[in-house]
């Protein structure tokens, strides 16, 4: 992974933080999506899930397959990722940029060194988002 790729992950994670903050400001931390929810709640939920998928697409596929769940499976307790988890993801993304920059400056291109951080980020993403990234990678592979 290049530092440019790591930076893009950080940008996407910050966008995710914004979306989650907006969702929680409007609907609260433990909001449950139901059939009678406002359309905007579903729209924001889809944007949050889409941003998570965009992050997943930038991670090493191995990180998606062997994700490290530091905070357990939050999706079994909440419909929408909590801002505290996203804040941890922001710290991991900054760490990823830091280490990618260091490795790049040293001329080291071993992406395995960054894999633990990528696994940690992947573990905070909803499994549906990780699957969306896998599916998209297969579609791109089949098209080529």
- The domain locations on the chain are 3-143
Distance CA 31, CA 41 (A): 9
What percentage of the chain exceeds 90 in pLDDT? 83
Q: What is the pLDDT of residues 110-129, one digit of tens each?
A: 768 999 999 999 999 999 99
Count helices and strands in the chain by DSSP H and E runs: 6, 0
Please compute the mean of the pLDDT values over residues 2-24 and round it to a whole number: 98
Mean pLDDT value across the chain:
94
């Amino acid at each position: 992974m290049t530092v440019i790729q790591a930076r893009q992950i950080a940008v996407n994670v910050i966008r995710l933080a914004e979306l989650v903050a907006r969702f929680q400001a409007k609907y609260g931390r433990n909001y449950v999506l139901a059939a009678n929810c406002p359309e905007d709640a579903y729209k924001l939920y889809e944007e949050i899930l889409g941003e998570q998928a965009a992050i997943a697409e930038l991670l090493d596929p191995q990180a998606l397959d062997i994700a490290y769940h530091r905070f357990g499976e939050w999706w079994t307790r909440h419909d929408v990722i909590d801002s505290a988890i996203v804040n941890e993801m922001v710290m991991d993304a900054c760490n990823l940029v830091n280490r990618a920059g260091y490795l790049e400056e040293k001329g080291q291109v071993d992406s395995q060194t960054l894999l633990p951080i990528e696994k940690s980020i992947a573990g905070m993403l909803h499994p549906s988002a990780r699957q969306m990234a896998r599916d998209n990678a297969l579609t791109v592979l089949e098209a080529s």
